[in-house]
Amino acid sequence: MSLESEKNKSLIKKLLTSLNSHQKAYLNLNLKDPKNGEYLLCIFHLIPNKNLNILQAAAEIAAESSTGTNFQVKTETKFSRELNARVYQVDLKRNLVWIAYPWRLFDRGGNVQNILTYIIGNILGMKEVQALKLLDVWFPSSMLEQYDGPSYTIDDMRKYLDVYNRPILGTIIKPKMGLTASEYAEVCYDFWAGGGDFVKNDEPQADQDFCPYEKMVYYVKRAMDKAVKETGKKKVHSFNVSSPDFDTMIKRCEIIRNAGFEKGSYAFLIDGITAGWMALQTLRRRYPDVFIHFHRASHGAYTRSENPFGFSVLVLSKFARLAGASGIHTGTAGVGKMKGSPEEDIVAAKNILNLSSKGHFFEQNWGKIPEKDKDLIKLVHEDSIHHLILQDDSWRGIKKCCPIISGGLNPTLLKTFIDIMGNVDFITTMGAGVHAHPKGTRAGAIALVQACEAYQKKIDIHDYAKSHKELKEAIEFFEKNKKNINESIRSERA
């Protein structure tokens, strides 16, 4: 064993003597096999407050996030103690603690909201810690089988759109708010007529008096019919169904489903954090034949790297897949306008896309592939028949959830992001990137399509722009403005 781990071990031995009997009940550094299928595993970055050491604080966190509270209670039973979460590993140098949660703790029937109430619930408010961030989670396959996972996936959307080997090209209608229903639909039409595949409501779009929900749906349908007829291509619109209450959400879904849209031509968008996990799971269970689009507005309060409390983009994205989102925004790895990095956003994107992939600390396999099944394991790792495995034997695992790549992208940044991502299996939605084009939305859509063509033909966009004027105008506009933005950031920093 290395000197460092020797040191870590002897330090831990010393810390163990500091624990009281209550804390000892939530710690087992000799847990025989954390991956035996009984536990959800979590790893936290934890800094204790001044009057506790990391082991004491970790035990208090394990107590409060499973069966306990701040004192041992007389009402405990032998059985309740079996459900105690256990701190099973500690890295003193990096302030990391691993906690195993017996997943029998959780509400049966696949309730994601209930898990989160434990593992990112009260503990984020406890005095015992001055930093607590859930960095990664690991689900045993015995637990995975209890949860829905996605039903309608990007593979289904690709089949509907007949779009393969490139990202699905989308936009968000801008201005974010303020267009009337017919003005909104006009912009949808311009984007689709320009060759775009996918339009989404912006995350706050709902039933505003100047753009009544039913009217917006009605005009979008007409705009879509017109664009499909003119282009001969299928189109998709993602409607925000986030609502004040369950009944209104279902009513909005039914307005859409009764507006004459073809199956596959609409998706349901849910503001997963502000509308909540119950809304997401309700949509997944009620509408398994619809793409469920998780918008993560307000995730920054938990995920920003400057924030010592919360959870990672990876954790959010893994739970979105577990709960059944067909796609979730995973960030632009810093290429666009939002904070992010490849270490955060790309790791999250790959973990929700692939059947097995490395997270920050855990290797997650989303399917139960028998160890002996060598060729299946080979295929899973190639991931080439991912959808087939899951289509035929959905018991085997959780279908893919697709990354939705948005915030601040424009056609000149498409290749930059694809190169960082390393694949094209995602939906991109560009708002300003399309509607700020000097010649308007339709030209913005054409420029996006041309940027994608250039990528597919392995031609630099500046060369491709020589014979594609909309792309040329986009490059001139966005590259000039990028300099201005960088200058303003630089001057702010100066």
Q: Which residues bind ligand CAP (CB under 6 A)?
A: 172, 174, 176, 202-203, 296, 329, 331, 337-338, 406-408, 430-433
Query: Residue 296's binding partner, choosing from ligand CAP, Mg ion, none, with beta-carbon cut-off 5 to 8 A by kind?
Result: ligand CAP
Q: List the catalytic residue out of 45, 174, 386, 400.
A: 174
Distance CA 397, CA 406 (A): 28
Q: For residues 64 and 344, which CB has a smaller minimum distance to ligand CAP in the complex?
A: 344
Q: For residues 203 and 470, which CB has a smaller minimum distance to Mg ion in the complex?
A: 203
Could you tell me the smallest distance in angstroms from the CB atom of residue 239 to ligand CAP? 15
Q: Is 295 a catalytic residue?
A: yes
Query: Residue 407's binding partner, choosing from ligand CAP, Mg ion, none, with beta-carbon cut-off 5 to 8 A by kind?
Result: ligand CAP
Query: Residue 327's binding partner, choosing from Mg ion, ligand CAP, none, with beta-carbon cut-off 5 to 8 A by kind?
Result: none
Q: Are strands 356-358 and 363-365 parallel, antiparallel or unpaired?
A: antiparallel
203 binds Mg ion (CB under 5 A): yes
Q: For residues 174 and 387, which CB has a smaller minimum distance to ligand CAP in the complex?
A: 174
Conformation bin of residue 258: beta by default, left when phi > 0, alpha when psi is -120 to 50: alpha
Residue 357 three-state SS = strand
* CB atoms inside a 10 Å sphere around CB 124: 17
Q: For residues 39 and 417, which CB has a smaller minimum distance to ligand CAP in the complex?
A: 417
DSSP class of 174: S
Distance CA 414, CA 436 (A): 16
Distance CA 187, CA 246 (A): 30
Could you tell me where the DSSP H helices lie in 298-364? 300-303, 313-323, 347-353
Q: For residues 34 and 431, which CB has a smaller minimum distance to ligand CAP in the complex?
A: 431
Distance CA 84, CA 75 (A): 14
Task: Answer yes or no: are the C-beta atoms of 366 and 374 closer than 8 Å.
Answer: no
Could you tell me where the DSSP H helices lie in 46-120? 54-64, 78-82, 112-119
Residue found under tokens 């992001």: 417
Site residues for Mg ion, window 13-52 (CB under 5 A)? none
- Segment interacting with Mg ion (CB under 5 A) among 94-102, 125-133, 197-205, 320-328: 197-205
64 binds Mg ion (CB under 5 A): no
Choice from 60, 202, 271, 425 touching Mg ion (CB under 5 A):
202
- Segment interacting with Mg ion (CB under 5 A) among 111-119, 201-209, 285-293, 328-336: 201-209
How many residues of this chain bind Mg ion (CB under 5 A)? 2
Could you tell me the smallest distance in angstroms from the CB atom of residue 339 to ligand CAP? 9
CB contact set of 250 (below 8 Å; sequence gap of 6+): 282, 286
Q: For residues 171 and 450, which CB has a smaller minimum distance to Mg ion in the complex?
A: 171
CB contact set of 237 (below 8 Å; sequence gap of 6+): 188, 198, 199, 200, 220, 224, 261, 265, 266, 267
Query: Residue 440's binding partner, choosing from Mg ion, ligand CAP, none, with beta-carbon cut-off 5 to 8 A by kind?
Result: none
Query: Residue 430's binding partner, choosing from ligand CAP, Mg ion, none, with beta-carbon cut-off 5 to 8 A by kind?
Result: ligand CAP
Query: Residue 279's binding partner, choosing from Mg ion, ligand CAP, none, with beta-carbon cut-off 5 to 8 A by kind?
Result: none
Could you tell me the smallest distance in angstroms from the CB atom of residue 454 to ligand CAP? 20
Residue found under tokens 């920003």: 304
Could you tell me the smallest distance in angstroms from the CB atom of residue 203 to Mg ion? 5
Q: Is 174 a catalytic residue?
A: yes
Per-residue DSSP letters for 449-475?
A: HHHHHHHHTT--HHHHGGG-HHHHHHH
Could you tell me the smallest distance in angstroms from the CB atom of residue 406 to ligand CAP? 3
Could you tell me the smallest distance in angstroms from the CB atom of residue 96 to Mg ion? 26
Residue 405 three-state SS = strand
Could you tell me the smallest distance in angstroms from the CB atom of residue 405 to ligand CAP? 7
| 268 DSSP β-pair partners | 239, 292
Task: Answer yes or no: are the C-beta atoms of 202 and 432 closer than 8 Å.
Answer: no
Task: Answer yes or no: are the C-beta atoms of 204 and 241 closer than 8 Å.
Answer: no
Q: For residues 171 and 243, which CB has a smaller minimum distance to ligand CAP in the complex?
A: 171
Could you tell me the smallest distance in angstroms from the CB atom of residue 329 to ligand CAP? 3
Q: List the catalytic residue out of 200, 221, 293, 295.
A: 295
Q: For residues 299 and 386, which CB has a smaller minimum distance to ligand CAP in the complex?
A: 299
Residue found under tokens 């637990």: 143
Active site residues: 174, 295
Query: Which residues would be at the binding site for Mg ion (CB under 5 A)?
Result: 202-203
